[in-house]
Amino acid sequence: MKRWFYSGVIFFVSQNIFAQSPTFSNDVAPIIFNYCTNCHRSGNIAPFPLTTYDEVAGAAFSMLSAINNKKMPPWMPDPNYSHFINERVLNEVEIQLINDWVSNGMPEGDSVLTSDLPIFYEGSEIGVPDIQFELPHFTKSIAADEYRCFVVSTGFAQDVFIKSFEFLPGNKLMDHHAEIFWDTTGTCQQLDLLDSLPGYLSAGGNIGSDYAQLLFTWVPGTSPFILPEDFAFKIPAGADIVIQLHYAPGTQGLTDSSELNLFYSFQPQVRVLKTIIANHLDNDLQNGPFIIPPDSIKTFHAVDTLTRKISFLGVMPHMHLLGDHTITYAVSPSNDTLKIISIPFWNFKWQSAYMFQKILVSDSGSVFHTESTYNNTSFNLSNPFYPPQTVNAGFGINSEMMLSAYYYVNYKVGDENIFLNSINDSLDEDKKYFTIFPNPSNGNFVLKSDYIKAQKISVLVLNVQGVVVKSLFDNVVLGDGNQIQFCDLDDLPAGMYFLKISSDSLNEIKRIVVFH
């Protein structure tokens, strides 16, 4: 009944949505449900739920403060500097809409029009994995943050090529984020044997092996990243997989057993992603030594020069608790600037690896600049020392680091035209005009377009291999303002799909999970 009621009022909604104050049912609920509710619901890591009007209205002022200060949704990179897949960013129109809603008394509107909560997919979003590793059960006994590494012997007799990883948290109240590595030295296995508990205790970002290679990271709310068809991660024969889990504070007494899914690449030839670890404290620091005196805010500048042309797929900056902000860019021999990443407000607990929406190509001879600022004052609430003490370089969490990890492949003609988000996210780098709800869905969902000019759009449905499996709309006319289209994927098997939305002036791709 709700679907047909929507259909009957679509013209009214599109013409009058801006003539009245925003309401929860029409305007705020789709934003909150799409950006916040994945974590803010029962049994998940966020401290309070945002699943109903009463819950959202009750938390409105603290929510508004976090949104206006860009603390929530949790996304550290500056979207005005560079873009990455799986961005969790509210645009200025959405932020203003929520502000207007709160300022106008938080009206609920017609509850019949409130979109259904997304049905959150608990299993794999991609499908049946080629191999799955289950971590041992671990019960957290301390109240503070805990970083614990779990080692999995793969038993791979030969090199294995992976197109996607998927981390499934075993206890969403505990699991704050995870970093996944491979290690061929046996060092992590030895550390595991020395700890009487499952896994072994570690420091954030440091798993105890200097030769371990970072594969990917997971934080709540992110979807699996699927590499383009001819790219793959390589896990060497005989390697161990090491999963470092950050367990949130206040979760003592809870038990976790998470899972890691691997999906193989079966392409006869692949381009293997490699990792460059730029430890800026080795040789390229321009204003060393790297010493941060107490009661000081210091910025360090590091440079490094590329010796060959490289195609970059992702980046992961790394600092510890004194980190305040950081920026990385490259200057080419022709004096062009390549913007890589800017994090204006560093948060150690939310660090992650970020994959570019489009491959970044850097010429041989390009000079990479990293400028990182550290706050060693008592005003830094993350400072491990009170009163502040002198902090030097080191792997321990109470020391500091200035490091960047890059995912890359050697350059091939045409790399600069490859969109890594071709089946993961929007192709539009400036604005996202379409939202889907509910998502996941049972095959019936609403495609809502926001703030676009009247034009014709076409919508194709792609599977995870990028193959078109259905056409939803062909040159459907949308008018000015908000429009709602009802969509039906009942005839497709359960799984993850991508909507390719196109017109003369825009292109977007949106992910949707279908279950039956």
Whether omega before 440 lies within 30 degrees of 0, making that bond cis, reads yes
CATH of the domain at 450: 2.60.40.1930
Of the candidates 61, 88, 120, which is a domain's last residue? 120
Strands (DSSP E) along 145-286, which ranges? 146-153, 160-168, 175-183, 200-202, 213-218, 231-235, 240-247, 255-256, 259-264, 271-272, 274-279
**Torsion sign, CA atoms 137, 204, 277, 381:** positive
Residues 473 and 350 in one domain: no
Q: With contact defined as beta carbons under 8 Å apart, do 511 and 28 qualify?
A: no
Residues 60 and 45 in one domain: yes
Residues 503 and 408 in one domain: no
Write the DSSP string, 232-272: EEEE-TTPEEEEEEEEPTT-TT-EE--EEEEEE---SS-EE
253-259 mean pLDDT? 95
Task: Kindly give the pairing relationship between strand 271-272 and strand 231-235.
Answer: parallel
Task: Name the most confidently modeled range: 6-10, 37-41, 335-339.
Answer: 335-339
Of the candidates 272, 299, 334, which is a domain's last residue? 272
Predicted confidence (pLDDT) at residue 429 exceeds the cutoff of 50: no
Of the candidates 120, 143, 161, which is a domain's last residue? 120
The span from the CA of 103 to the CA of 28, in Å, is 13
Residues 408 and 430 in one domain: no
Would residue 440 count as lying in a domain? Answer: yes
Would residue 72 count as lying in a domain? Answer: yes
Domain count, the chain: 4
Predicted local distance difference test score (pLDDT) of residue 266? 83
Per DSSP, 505 falls in state S
The span from the CA of 461 to the CA of 179, in Å, is 32
The span from the CA of 294 to the CA of 292, in Å, is 7
Q: pLDDT tens across 330-347, in order?
A: 999 999 999 999 999 999
Predicted confidence (pLDDT) at residue 8 exceeds the cutoff of 60: no
Q: Where are the alpha helices (DSSP H) in 305-448?
A: none
Residues 76 and 159 in one domain: no
Residues 81 and 177 in one domain: no
Predicted confidence (pLDDT) at residue 453 exceeds the cutoff of 70: no
Would residue 332 count as lying in a domain? Answer: yes
CA-closest candidate to residue 415, choices 462, 356, 455, 370: 356
Residues 439 and 512 in one domain: yes
CATH of the domain at 213: 2.60.120.310
Q: With contact defined as beta carbons under 8 Å apart, do 359 and 312 qualify?
A: yes
- Continuous segment of H or E residues that includes residue 345: none
Predicted local distance difference test score (pLDDT) of residue 173? 86
Predicted local distance difference test score (pLDDT) of residue 465? 59
Per DSSP, 285 falls in state B
CATH of the domain at 381: 2.60.120.230
The answer to pTM > 0.75 is no
Residue 438 confidence class, pLDDT cut points 50, 70, 90? confident
What torsion, rounded to 10 degrees, do the Cα atoms 142, 147, 148, 152 define? 160
Q: pLDDT tens across 70-97, in order?
A: 888 889 999 999 999 888 888 888 999 9
Residues 105 and 148 in one domain: no
The span from the CA of 332 to the CA of 358, in Å, is 18
The span from the CA of 303 to the CA of 311, in Å, is 19
Q: pLDDT tens across 113-133, in order?
A: 888 887 676 777 777 889 999
Residue 7 confidence class, pLDDT cut points 50, 70, 90? very low
% of the chain exceeding 70 in pLDDT: 88
Write the DSSP string, 16-63: HTTSS---IIIIIHHHHHHHTTTTSSTTSSSSS---SHHHHHHTHHHH
Would residue 373 count as lying in a domain? Answer: yes
Predicted local distance difference test score (pLDDT) of residue 226? 81
Residues 409 and 284 in one domain: yes
Residues 3 and 75 in one domain: yes
Would residue 303 count as lying in a domain? Answer: yes
Residue 101 confidence class, pLDDT cut points 50, 70, 90? very high
Range of the domain at 32: 1-120
Mean pLDDT of the chain: 85
Would residue 126 count as lying in a domain? Answer: no
Predicted local distance difference test score (pLDDT) of residue 481? 53
Would residue 125 count as lying in a domain? Answer: no
Residues 462 and 484 in one domain: yes
The amino acid occupying position 396 is G
Q: pLDDT tens across 217-243, in order?
A: 888 767 777 888 789 999 999 999 999
Would residue 293 count as lying in a domain? Answer: yes
Residues 245 and 195 in one domain: yes
Predicted confidence (pLDDT) at residue 56 exceeds the cutoff of 90: yes
**Torsion sign, CA atoms 16, 20, 24, 28:** positive
Contacts of 436 (CB under 8 A, 6+ apart): 34, 445, 446, 447, 448, 499, 510, 512
Q: With contact defined as beta carbons under 8 Å apart, do 225 and 164 qualify?
A: yes
Strands (DSSP E) along 394-454, which ranges? 403-410, 434-437, 444-452
44-54 mean pLDDT? 90
